[in-house]
Amino acid sequence: MNRYGTHGKREWRGATALLALTLAGGLLLTGCGGTDDASDGAKDTAADSRGGSGMPAPDRPRGEGEQRYDGGTSAPGSGEGEKNGDSREIAPDPDYLSTFALDVDTASYGYARRTLSEGRLPDPATVRPEEFVNSFRQDYERPDGDGFSVTVDGARTDDEDWSLVRVGLATRPAERQSERPPAALTFVIDISGSMGEPGRLDLAQEALGTMTDRLRDDDSVALVTFSDEAETVLPMTRLGDHRDRVHDAIDGLEPTDSTNLGAGMETGYETAVEGHREGVTNRVVLVSDALANTGDTDADTILERIATERREHGITLFGVGVGSDYGDALMERLADKGDGHTTYVSTGEDAREVFCEQLPSHIELTARDAKAQVAFDPETVAEFRLVGYDNRQVADEDFRDDRVDGGEVGPGHTVTALYAVRTRPGADGHLATATVRWLDPDSRTPHEESGDVESDALDDSVWESGRGLRVTATAAYFADALRSPGGDGGSLPGAPGLSELSERADGLADRTENADLRELAEAIEEANRLA
């Protein structure tokens, strides 16, 4: 694996308007870097800051008649795609830039595992490849200070001239509990009738109770509930000697009536503003099955109602999804447009990890409105496409427009973007440059960091590469298969069938003895059985 820092930057030249192509197949989640560290593949909970310009691919005349990979298991021009009903269109003068907002959501993977455990294949519309990938901790090199490190690597697939190229971004390690800033957390809890199902409200209460005991004395907690109406059950309360008061409020929650999620969000943000503390991390934590059926049920309308609180006070959202019947689309939209991220919990162990480990450790933000731009070199790259991030695309020209929304990222996170790339025959030399741009969460000063990758990084096969890249590929191919008709024969180049993928995942889990990879292998095995 090759790691690169900031060297070799140069000014953008001749960038044209973006033609962003994303296919229906996908996926996800980033794997660890290519080492044999036994911690590779553990589930994720979620470089010095320097200014400067990114490094685009050098200008050259665009090749006429270029084709793009539009799905199917064969490369364009092979003649095999048409028999699968795929369209093959000539791309109208494509450029070589790809720009997207960062995303650390993991809810899609958690919800897919829950669905499979109940003997059902997940709805393809709920499968977001980047969230499968980002559910696994990476071993990318960490920066010394706030900001990101950039790692770019890749490997060949079994399809001729097609490779998977991975862009890995990492923030500094999370602070120990005693070193992080204090937190002011407003929990907005869904107590509608549907939350009475086992594994919803009861699961949240247990985890919240444990979290209350683990938070610091200088942390503060508020509690808002909603069903057909919303109510502030507990105003912002400094824990200190008041933990019993918080426990009483949590223990007293009972499910009732319908789901007015809009009212819950509005009251939650009002409560967060009333209890706003300077110099601490202020966050709203929404716990819900997101099955809104009363009041405002549209994400954009709900977000507009709380826009002032979000923008003026910088209060971020953390969405925690629960329930076998779950409003995935609404929760994802709220998080993507609400300066936050989502996760999904289905077991007591999941809930304890989220509330007691992830949330306290990653309360702090290290980057706001973070965006990435990858410039592929037309001398070596014939075509490419970003896997997933369908709802996070950003126009190329908006990469350095800091008014355009990006993603919020905290310490301890890794973010992975995976690309399917077809190289030109005999390609040799520079392949791509990846640049990440973000704003300092306090001063809003912009910073950038870049990394490069050369064509020789693609010498190894995906299945013979480092463990981390194999985890990434396995997760991506899994999501890709789940988004495909019948759950097999995905659209990513070199996609194995679920049966072969299950064997590869099982081997990875055996060699690493990693519990999270064992869960991945079991999910793939169940999908193969159902498909």
Q: What is the pLDDT of residues 213-252, one digit of tens each?
A: 999 999 999 999 999 999 999 999 999 999 999 999 999 9
Mean pLDDT of 320-347: 90
2 pLDDT higher than 60: no
Average pLDDT across the chain, whole number: 82
List the structure tokens of 251: 């223990």
Per mean pLDDT, which range of 63-72, 89-98, 130-139, 333-342 is the poorest?
A: 63-72
Ranked by mean pLDDT, the top range of 243-247, 356-360, 409-413 is 243-247
Q: What was the pLDDT predicted at 45?
A: 40
SS3 for 328-345, per residue?
HHHHHHHHHHCCEEEEEC
Q: What was the pLDDT predicted at 211?
A: 93
List the structure tokens of 248: 């009483």
SS3 for 481-527, per residue?
HHCCHHHCCCCCCCCCCHHHHHHHHHHHHHHHCCHHHHHHHHHHHHH
- Prediction pTM value: 0.81
SS3 for 234-294, per residue?
EEEEECCCCHHHHHHHHHCCCCCCCCCHHHHHHHHHHHHHHCCCCCCEEEEEEEECCCCCC
Cβ–Cβ < 8 Å for 224, 321: no
Residue from 443, 531, 419 nearest 162 by CA? 419
The better pLDDT of the pair 358, 157 is held by: 157
Q: What was the pLDDT predicted at 178?
A: 67
The better pLDDT of the pair 200, 27 is held by: 200
Per mean pLDDT, which range of 133-142, 193-202, 310-319 is the poorest?
A: 310-319
Percent of the chain with pLDDT over 70: 81
Q: What is the pLDDT of residues 476-486, one digit of tens each?
A: 999 999 998 76
Q: What is the pLDDT of residues 188-222, one digit of tens each?
A: 999 999 999 998 999 999 999 999 999 999 999 99
Q: What was the pLDDT predicted at 489?
A: 60
Cβ–Cβ < 8 Å for 203, 322: yes
221 three-state secondary structure: strand
Mean pLDDT of 2-23: 34
Residue 47 CA to residue 343 CA, distance in Å, equals 26
Helices 498-512 and 467-482 cross at an angle (nearest 10°) of: 150
Query: 381: which strand partners?
Result: 423
82 pLDDT higher than 70: no
461 pLDDT higher than 50: yes
Residue from 210, 215, 230 nearest 271 by CA? 230
Burial of 139 (0-12, 13-18, 19+ CB in 10 A): buried
Residue 149 CA to residue 420 CA, distance in Å, equals 22
Cβ–Cβ < 8 Å for 419, 386: yes
Per mean pLDDT, which range of 34-43, 129-138, 354-363, 370-379 is the poorest?
A: 34-43
Mean pLDDT of 38-61: 39
Q: What is the pLDDT of residues 256-314, one digit of tens each?
A: 989 999 999 999 999 999 999 888 888 999 999 999 999 889 999 999 888 888 878 88
74 pLDDT higher than 70: no
